[in-house]
Amino acid sequence: MSETLLHAYWPLIFWTGLGLLSFSLLPDSLPRLLGRGLYWVGVPVQIFTLARQTNFAAQVGLAPLVVGLALIGGIGLAWSTLQLMQWVEGRSPLPAAAATPIAPESAGELGLFASTGALAPGSTDPASPVWADSARRGSFLIAATLGNTGFVGLAIAPSLVAEPYQGWLVFYSITQNVLGTYGLGVWLASVYGRSHGGKRWWVHLRDVLTVPSLWAFGLGMLTRAMALPSFVDFALHASLWVIIPCALLLMGLRLRQIHGWRSLRLAIAPALLRVLVLPVGVAGVAAMLGLSSEPRLALVLMSGMPTAFAGLILGEEYDLDRELIASSIVLTTAALLLTLPLWLLIFS
């Protein structure tokens, strides 16, 4: 197992560390350009290659089902945890530890479907409960539920899962992006955000249908029986040696840009749900479905990936608590170094 972990840790530590150290030496526009390049070209090429060359097991179609159950269970656990923390905070005689923007909502509007109007700019109430802010609650739910299965998951997990079962990773990543980030994530952000996007439903549907990774996966599946020229196959294989380092380099650059250190304490709960509780739940579902060790390991690894960077994008778009999401990304990325050997030890 130590050799397997070294194989996974080496690119993770080296390329992410390089991104952290070289941030000040690189142009400010590079992270955005690199991110868009990976989104539109890099990750789709990786998924196309895996879809063509992965030997999909007969049960791999269960992966979307597991993702759906994980999203439902994840949002349920996150909301229940949030309600519990609000209850504990309400019974505490001590004042709130941090100032919280005043949200125009009554105590009866603190449920799962609560939304809020525009906030008075810069208005704070030091005595206001920490979790009274709707935008902060939405960030909590997004940080705990959405995982980075694209850039990070597909960069790390394939080296830990046997090749015949890598189709589970691809299916999980695609379903997580479509149902999670572009489905549940957008819905949560629009419900809890301080400024609503004002987009119609068909605009969100268009965004889902134009996800490049989705089209790359479909094209890869349709061309599995088609023989490509040898130089094309070689180029596809070689591209993975560029895409994976670029994805990890981007993670280091993005971590260097994060300024949410003040919210680390508030991010502990969603981070624990993200990297520990949710993977254990997915393992239980996989066991109930009768899956063998390799598919179960693939599902657990993908479900335990760090909080998605897409949460920051949603935070910008819908004016959520971006510091909380950023802090969860920091904590879950660091925790990944500890949870990977744990999952390999238990499920490998």
Inside any domain, residue 233: yes
Q: Which residue has the tokens 């090749």?
A: 163
In the predicted structure, residue 93 carries a pLDDT above the cut 80: no
At residue 240, the pLDDT reads 81
Query: How many domains are there within the chain?
Result: 1
| CATH code of residue 7 | 1.20.1530.20
CA distance 226 to 93: 68
Q: Angle at CA 183, nearest 5°, toward 151 and 65?
A: 80
Mean pLDDT of 162-172: 88
In the predicted structure, residue 317 carries a pLDDT above the cut 50: yes
Which residues lie below 8 Å from residue 11, measured CB to CB, with a gap of 6+?
Answer: 155, 156, 244, 245, 248
At residue 14, the pLDDT reads 92
DSSP, residue by residue, 20-61: HHHGGGS-TTHHHHHHHHIIIIIHHHHHHHHHHHS---GGGG
Cβ distance 266 to 327 under 8 Å? Answer: yes
In the predicted structure, residue 273 carries a pLDDT above the cut 70: yes
Inside any domain, residue 116: no
The first and second tokens of residue 284, run together, are 């239980």
Stretch (H or E) spanning 100? strand 100-101
Inside any domain, residue 288: yes
Inside any domain, residue 161: yes
Inside any domain, residue 29: yes
DSSP, collapsed to helix, strand or coil, labels residue 307 as strand
pLDDT band at 49 (very low <50, low <70, confident <90, very high): confident
Question: In Å, how far are 107, 288, 322 from 128, measured between CA atoms?
Answer: 12, 44, 19
pLDDT tens, residue by residue, 275-297: 999 999 999 999 999 998 999 99
In the predicted structure, residue 104 carries a pLDDT above the cut 90: no
At residue 326, the pLDDT reads 86
The boundaries of the domain holding residue 222 are: 2-102+126-347
Inside any domain, residue 120: no
Inside any domain, residue 281: yes
